[in-house]
Amino acid sequence: MALVISQEHDLLRDAAKGFLAEHAPVSALRTLRDSDDPFGYDPALWQRMTEMGWAGILVPEKYGGLDFGIVGAGLLMEEMGRTLSASPFFSTAIMAATLLKEVGREAQKKRLLPQIAAGKAVVALALDEGRSHDPGGIKLAAKPSGNGFVLNGEKTFVLDGHLADQVIVAARTGGKAGTKSGLSLFLIETDRAGLEFRRRTMVDSRNVADITFAEVKVDGDQLMGKLDEAYEPLEKALDVGRACLSSEMLGTASEAFERTLEYLRERKQFGVPIGSFQVLQHRAAHLFSEIEMLRSVVLKTLLSLQASDASSSFLASLAKAKAAQVVGLATSEAIQMHGGIGMTDEFDIGFFIKRAKVASETYGDYYFHADRFARIKGY
């Protein structure tokens, strides 16, 4: 498995670059933010992305998708990370499609995967219940009732939650909070009685919702996969998500860095470009090295997930932790090196640090993944 990007993937990247530059530049995110858009993304843009086949990038061909694989999905995320393009791509085309593929019942796949691939359904994953990522700590209870279940509890910061057509809910059907066994997944329409959605406004201007479940009745066939055994497939899907988020963060870091380099070449003080100062050159060169290390890790992780290697979860944590470090450094340095203008809302660089921080927290921050990395290694 050579650590190089194939020609096929290069073509996909070029197409994505061109498309996003034209239809979804950073200014589009600014417009969305300033217009208090109820969706938090542009449905027309999502429709165009769908026409490019992106919504079905992980959906098998027999369900109407492209089945292009995780490396391709990661590259799209990297490009979206450069332009900060908001869309349901991550929640729906990556997380929901992966979970449906892994543990969906045939009827669920048949119904929903073609809709995802056609951009006709937004599907959110309702997972965490507190302020930080903690998949083992799920408390939301699903109690057996008749031939189905009754759900009670809270979910927090559900990505694309308030505009989803369906949610995949991780619930506790057995075991104690903090344990891995006893978790189950359910696929639920969002208009079901007892569900209440509250949109929360986040720093990156994207969409999340807190969801309350009060006596929500679901049928037995809404269960995805095996009762009580959702933890493992969930972790597997989360690793795909973490790798893709890392790829997005690589894109964000690269773009913030390139914009900073441009500024270092142009901005003059003391009669010379500030990029000629060694103190800034060394910081830029160090940052370049860090970004290149992240690039290697992300590529390896995507390739490994695509090949279903056993080392994937270790690599996913490496990628997510490293990405948080690097994008944090890249966006902080971007502001510092831009000086005062970097602090203004008028200038775009602020959008990068905002999105970077949310992506860093999503599905596990640096500390979560550093700890997981060490535990996998036995210390």
Partner 1 sequence: MEHLETFTEETRAWLEENCPAGMRRPMRREEDAVWGGRNYKFHGEDQRLWLERMAGRGWTVPTWAKEYGGGGLTPEEAKILKRELKRIGARPALVSFGIWMLGPALLKYGSETHKKEHLPRIARGEIRWCQGYSEPNAGSDLASLQTKAEDKGDHFLINGQKVWTSYADKSDWIFCLVRTDPKAPKHEGISFLLFDMASKGVSTKPIRLISGSSPFCETFFDDVKVPKENLVGELNKGWAIAKYLLTHEREMIGASGIERLPGSDLGATAAEVIGTKSGTLRNHLLRADIVRHEMDWAAFLLTLERARDEAKAGAGTGAVSSMLKYIGTELNKERAELLMAINGLQGLLWENEEDPEPPLSRQWLRSKGNSIEGGTSEIQLDIIAKRVLRLPQGN
CB of 321 vs partner 1, minimal distance in Å: 6
Specify the residue, 106 or 379, whose C-beta has the smaller distance to partner 1: 379
Question: In this complex, which beta carbon is closest to partner 1, that of residue 32 or of residue 330?
Answer: 330
Least separation in angstroms between residue 248's CB and partner 1 is 18
CB of 360 to partner 1, least distance (A): 15
Q: Region of 146 please: left (phi>0), alpha (psi -120 to 50) or beta.
A: left
CB nearer partner 1, residue 6 or residue 201:
6
Residues 14 and 76: their CA atoms lie apart, in Å, by 10
| Choice between 78 and 210, CB closer to partner 1 | 78
Residue 253 beta carbon to partner 1: minimum distance, rounded to whole angstroms: 13
The tally of CA atoms less than 13 A away on the side-chain side of residue 59 is 27
Residue 86 near residue 32, CB atoms below 8 Å:
yes
List residues binding partner 1 (CB under 8 A): 2-4, 261, 264-265, 272-273, 275-278, 280-282, 284-286, 288-289, 292-297, 299-300, 318, 321-322, 370-371, 373-375, 377-379
Closest distance to partner 1 from the beta carbon of 294 (Å): 7
CA distance 39 to 374: 39
Contact (Cβ atoms closer than 8 angstroms) between residue 334 and residue 256: yes
Whole-angstrom distance, CA of residue 78 vs CA of residue 298:
10
CB nearer partner 1, residue 55 or residue 302: 302
Residue 291 CB, shortest distance to partner 1, in Å, is 10
CA distances from 214 to 17, 50, 174, 190, 196 (A): 44, 34, 19, 13, 8
Alpha-carbon gap, residue 111 to 165, rounded angstroms: 13
Q: Which is nearer to partner 1, 155 or 295 (CB)?
A: 295
Closest distance to partner 1 from the beta carbon of 170 (Å)? 24
Two tokens, residue 143 = 């109690």
Minimum distance between the CB of residue 358 and partner 1, rounded to whole angstroms? 22
Nearest-approach distance from CB 264 to partner 1, in angstroms: 6
Torsion angle of C-alpha atoms 25, 26, 27, 29, degrees rounded to 10: 110
Specify the residue, 145 or 296, whose C-beta has the smaller distance to partner 1.
Answer: 296
- Nearer Cβ to partner 1, position 109 or 133? 133
Least distance (Å) between residue 320 CB and partner 1: 10
> Of 2 and 107, which CB lies nearer to partner 1 in the complex structure?
2
Residue 340 vs 378, nearer CB to partner 1: 378
